[in-house]
Amino acid sequence: MKASFDSKANYEQSKKAIGYVSRKEATPDDYQRIGFMSGLEVHQQLLTQKKLFCNCPAGIYHDHNDYDAEIIRHMRPTLSELGEYDGTALMEFKTRKEITYRINNETACTYEVDDTPPFPINRQALEIAIEISLLSKLNIVGEVHITRKQYLDGSIPTGFQRTAIIGVEGEIQLKNKKVKLIQLSIEEDSCREISDIGHKRLYKTDRLGMPLIETVTYPELFTPDELMEAAQYIRFLNRSTGKVRIGIGAGREDVNVSCKGGTRVEIKGVAHNKWIPELSHNEAFRQWALLHIRDILQSRIPNPTEWNLQAMELDYDAFEQLSFSLKAARDTHHKLMLVNLPEFKGILSHFTQPEKTFAHELSDRLQVIACLIAPFMIHTEQFEYELPVPDFDLFSNLIGAGENDAQIIFWAPADDVQTAIETIEERCKMALEGVPNETRKSFENGTTMFERVLPGADRMYPDTDSAPIPVEEEYIQQLAQNLPKDIWERYQQMRNWEVPEDAMDYILRNNLVPLIERIAQNMPLEPKWLATLFAHDLKNIEGKSKRHPDFDYELVEKLLLFLHAKEIEPEIVKWMLPILYQYPNMDFESVLITLKYKKRSKDELLAPIEFLYEKFKEISHNPSHENAINWLMGQIHRQALGNYNLSDLRNEIKTIVNQLA
């Protein structure tokens, strides 16, 4: 290793050079500086009994090993309708994956594994999709055409996803701006991956074929906060119908991000909206960093088209001593390759994402495209090395490297070496051009890794197994009459009710405005009080204890109706809910008994105050007015619950104490 080169310092320096700021420090000016631009593809599972194109039940999930049979498939690219091969398709073909599907007879039939053509589309799902399209102000198509969208990663056994546009050109109203929507499509959900190691990928088919919609926005979101706001809005909109699935994996976001001079990169399958700001922030800066790398390389390499790497096979004996990983590579007869990247010194350790460098751009692709299994490489600009540290000077001499070059040593099964070298070369050449089009997988820490080349419109193909489905005018009119209110109206409504801002997310996330409306109509209860009952008290309970599967929000309504009928003060609900949350099948009377509730009149409650006040004066060290009232409240609070409004009670006590003092 060239001792003169400090990789860590280079990383820090390059991070500074591009003006990276953390998400916390970033201001709108920073995003404007780098030209942050983003859009969303929001996926949402629909709440139907059955799957989209067959009669298997939807929403039943199995453990990895709970399966009845396995089948094996390989995917090969085909032409699109317009006669083009898709880039992703070709890349996936290069990877030569063997894909195994696990089938459980309960949730998959011969349709899922592509041994039976599709059955007619699930009408319930189609209807929900049209309703949500109408809510999204989209232009509804005259005829729904099922289209095949190629996916060669194997996530769908046919090699394509059946999908169809329901509407185009819509909009949503955010706090400060309108955001245009490109389209909404209905599609079948994909398999869930069990593992992906080397050339073998394993999927299960339980989720496969469940109805899903995808709402796509234009790239009109210019800060991570706006992006987050749009994601939340669309999620709330979907949920406002009450006809979509909730829970883990029921809603997933693909986030498209670019920076000025960069290109559209798609971060796939973000499971939680709260991750979106950090992920999009880092992606925009990753692109900003790649542009910086391009500028450095272009200044060093006058004729980029003539840039080539050099590669040679190495003998394991070339190392004085083998590290543990290299020994393992030798023992499994992997080929050992030395690659020289001319003019790439300082690039491999150039900042790309927090704690990631350009070398990761290469290793990600080697893992995905050439199917190499980590650890599979070392290079001249690592922060740390597995011991013993290799003598890179020796290798750079061996391959005749120049002063400004960088070297990689990788090991792989003989069959994968060629693809690996091509993959490195391809990615390095892309670095000379800027930011490659790709989809990336997200991690919880806000960073991403390469997943595949970004597919284009070339992977679409009409589904010859399905006939077009007309959407008649009367049908649309009929659906339009029964739509829930717009989300922005719901916000307005809550502001009018004086619901605190911090409660609104919870209310919309759980689609509670209609319920609050209904309760407030039937009982003399303030919407604001109800809103905080849900968004503060119930949310607090949710954080502390485990929800019984039978508990739902309607139970709160029933409980309030019960209390109303019994003329019991509704405040007691806050003490009853923690019990009902865990034991929703307990009858309300029993809950009251548990709380030792007894019906008492106001006079009964207030009768002992005088006596108690005297007692307080005897025992208190600080007999202030305020303390007296607090202590007295504490004494009769329990008995008062459900019998008397607590703040009214406090006022009554205050009056009495004032008289007594």
Please identify, using beta-carbon distances, which residue of 171 and 652 lies nearer to other proteins.
171
511: left (phi over 0), alpha (psi -120 to 50) or beta: left
Q: Any contact of residue 248 with other proteins (CB under 8 A)? A: no
Per-position DSSP letters for 386-420, written without gaps between them:
PSSPP-HHHHHHHTT--TT-EEEEEEE-HHHHHHH
Q: Any contact of residue 473 with other proteins (CB under 8 A)? A: yes
Please identify, using beta-carbon distances, which residue of 37 and 535 lies nearer to other proteins.
37
Q: Any contact of residue 66 with other proteins (CB under 8 A)? A: no
Number of residues near other proteins (by CB under 8 A): 68
Q: According to CB under 8 A, which one of 12, 63, 143, 331 is a site residue for other proteins?
A: 143
Q: How far is the CB of 229 from other proteins (least distance, A)?
A: 24
Sheet with 69-73, side-by-side order of all strands: 69-73, 98-103, 200-204, 192-197
Residues 70, 100: contact at Cβ < 8 Å?
Answer: yes
Residues 379, 410: contact at Cβ < 8 Å?
Answer: no
Q: Any contact of residue 113 with other proteins (CB under 8 A)? A: yes
Site string for other proteins, 115-134 (x = CB under 8 A): xxx-----------------
Q: How far is the CB of 28 from other proteins (least distance, A)?
A: 30
CB under 8 A: which stretch of 320-328, 462-470, 582-590, 598-606 binds other proteins? 462-470
Q: How far apart are CA 286 and CA 289, in angstroms?
A: 5
Q: Any contact of residue 631 with other proteins (CB under 8 A)? A: no
CB under 8 A: which stretch of 8-16, 49-57, 141-149, 250-258 binds other proteins? 141-149
Q: Any contact of residue 144 with other proteins (CB under 8 A)? A: yes
Q: Any contact of residue 76 with other proteins (CB under 8 A)? A: yes
Q: How far is the CB of 117 from other proteins (least distance, A)?
A: 6
Please identify, using beta-carbon distances, which residue of 100 and 310 lies nearer to other proteins.
100
Beta bridge partners of 581: none
Q: According to CB under 8 A, which one of 23, 94, 96, 145 is a site residue for other proteins?
A: 145
Q: How far apart are CA 67 and CA 58, in angstroms?
A: 16
Please identify, using beta-carbon distances, which residue of 367 and 466 lies nearer to other proteins.
466
Q: According to CB under 8 A, which one of 216, 309, 563, 629 is a site residue for other proteins?
A: 216
Q: How far is the CB of 164 from other proteins (least distance, A)?
A: 7
Please identify, using beta-carbon distances, which residue of 226 and 458 lies nearer to other proteins.
458
Residues 231, 260: contact at Cβ < 8 Å?
Answer: no
Q: How far apart are CA 441 and CA 424, in angstroms?
A: 20
Q: How far is the CB of 69 from other proteins (least distance, A)?
A: 5
Q: How far is the CB of 452 from other proteins (least distance, A)?
A: 14
Q: How far is the CB of 412 from other proteins (least distance, A)?
A: 22
CB under 8 A: which stretch of 42-50, 81-89, 301-309, 334-342 binds other proteins? 81-89
Q: How far apart are CA 437 and CA 290, in angstroms?
A: 12
CB under 8 A: which stretch of 77-85, 235-243, 422-430, 568-576 binds other proteins? 77-85
Q: How far is the CB of 159 from other proteins (least distance, A)?
A: 3
Half-sphere exposure of 249 (CA within 13 A, CB side): 13
Please identify, using beta-carbon distances, which residue of 114 and 393 lies nearer to other proteins.
114
Q: 196-220: b or e for each residue (b if 16 or more CB lie within 10 Å)? A: beebebbbbbbbbbbbbbbbbbebb
Three-state SS for 488-502 is HHHHHHHHHCCCCHH
Tokens representing 294 are 């391009």
CB under 8 A: which stretch of 56-64, 80-88, 302-310, 606-614 binds other proteins? 80-88
Q: According to CB under 8 A, which one of 6, 114, 127, 196 is a site residue for other proteins?
A: 114
Q: According to CB under 8 A, which one of 242, 304, 400, 456 is a site residue for other proteins?
A: 456
Residues 516, 531: contact at Cβ < 8 Å?
Answer: yes
Q: Any contact of residue 72 with other proteins (CB under 8 A)? A: yes
For residue 637, count other CB atoms closer than 10 A to its CB.
12
Beta bridge partners of 452: 439
Q: According to CB under 8 A, which one of 18, 227, 471, 563 is a site residue for other proteins?
A: 471
Tokens representing 23 are 């998400």
CB under 8 A: which stretch of 444-452, 459-467, 528-536, 617-625 binds other proteins? 459-467
Beta bridge partners of 44: 213, 251
Angle between helices 224-240 and 487-496 (to 10 degrees): 90
Q: According to CB under 8 A, which one of 37, 40, 52, 75 is a site residue for other proteins?
A: 75
CB under 8 A: which stretch of 51-59, 83-91, 229-237, 354-362 binds other proteins? 83-91
Q: What is the end-to-end Cα distance of the chain in Å, rounded?
A: 86
Q: Any contact of residue 74 with other proteins (CB under 8 A)? A: yes
Please identify, using beta-carbon distances, which residue of 182 and 301 lies nearer to other proteins.
182
Please identify, using beta-carbon distances, which residue of 169 and 295 lies nearer to other proteins.
169
Q: How far is the CB of 458 from other proteins (least distance, A)?
A: 7
Angle between helices 609-619 and 646-660 (to 10 degrees): 70
540-544-546-549 Cα dihedral, nearest 10 degrees: 0
Beta bridge partners of 191: none
Give residues with Cβ within 8 angstroms of 516, minimum separation 6.
507, 527, 530, 531, 534
Helix or strand (DSSP H, E) at 216? strand 211-217
The amino acid sitting at 521 is: Q
CB under 8 A: which stretch of 72-80, 589-597, 603-611, 614-622 binds other proteins? 72-80
Q: Per the omega criterion (within 30 degrees of 0), is the bond before 388 cis?
A: yes
Please identify, using beta-carbon distances, which residue of 100 and 404 lies nearer to other proteins.
100
Q: How far is the CB of 476 from other proteins (least distance, A)?
A: 8
Q: What residues between 157 and 196 interact with other proteins by CB under 8 A?
A: 157-160, 163-165, 168-169, 182-183, 185
Q: How far apart are CA 237 and CA 242, in angstroms?
A: 10
Q: What is the DSSP letter of 538?
A: I
Please identify, using beta-carbon distances, which residue of 280 and 466 lies nearer to other proteins.
466
Helix or strand (DSSP H, E) at 578? helix 573-582
Q: Per the omega criterion (within 30 degrees of 0), is the bond before 211 cis?
A: no
For residue 439, count other CB atoms closer than 10 A to its CB.
20
Q: Any contact of residue 474 with other proteins (CB under 8 A)? A: no
Beta bridge partners of 86: none
Q: How far is the CB of 418 from other proteins (least distance, A)?
A: 15
Q: How far apart are CA 285 and CA 31, in angstroms?
A: 9
Q: Any contact of residue 211 with other proteins (CB under 8 A)? A: no
Chain positions contacting other proteins, by CB under 8 A:
67-83, 85, 89, 100, 105, 110, 113-117, 138-145, 147-152, 157-160, 163-165, 168-169, 182-183, 185, 216, 456-462, 464, 467-468, 470-471, 473, 476
